[in-house]
């Protein structure tokens, strides 16, 4: 399963959800979708530092936030804040042992470009 992160208009998220329901009913794998209204909002949430954490965590998972901060060479407090936000967005999960992991094999980011007039 992969995470699909996209910049999409409000109605397109509803259409995507309907398609996911149809796909699950016929046994197709359903990917996680996360939509933002603009590129600005997407990249304010998925900063380069947070994307790096996802990449690092996918290589060493599951682990504690402390172990992730140490592996990433970052301050624990900042990593803790980023992990909490990524968890709120659904891109990181916690195990019963309170370890964190990335439940996806890939994260794809799609952003439509404005058409030239």
> Sorting pLDDT into bands at 50, 70 and 90, what band is 47?
very high
Bridging pattern class, strands 93-94 and 100-101: antiparallel
pLDDT in tens, 81-106: 999 999 999 999 999 999 999 999 99
Whether residue 46 contacts residue 40, with contact meaning beta carbons closer than 8 Å, is answered with: no
* pTM score of the predicted model: 0.82
């Amino acid at each position: 399963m992969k995470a699909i992160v996209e910049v999409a208009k409000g109605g397109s998220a509803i259409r995507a959800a309907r398609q996911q329901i149809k796909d699950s009913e016929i046994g197709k794998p359903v990917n996680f979708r996360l939509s933002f209204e603009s590129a600005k909002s997407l990249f304010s949430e998925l900063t380069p530092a947070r994307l790096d954490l996802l990449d690092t965590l996918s290589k060493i998972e599951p682990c504690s936030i402390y172990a992730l901060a140490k592996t990433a060479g970052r301050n624990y407090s900042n990593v803790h804040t980023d992990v909490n936000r990524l968890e709120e967005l659904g891109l990181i999960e916690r195990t019963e042992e309170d370890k964190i992991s990335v439940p996806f094999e890939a994260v794809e980011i799609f952003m439509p470009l404005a058409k030239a007039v």
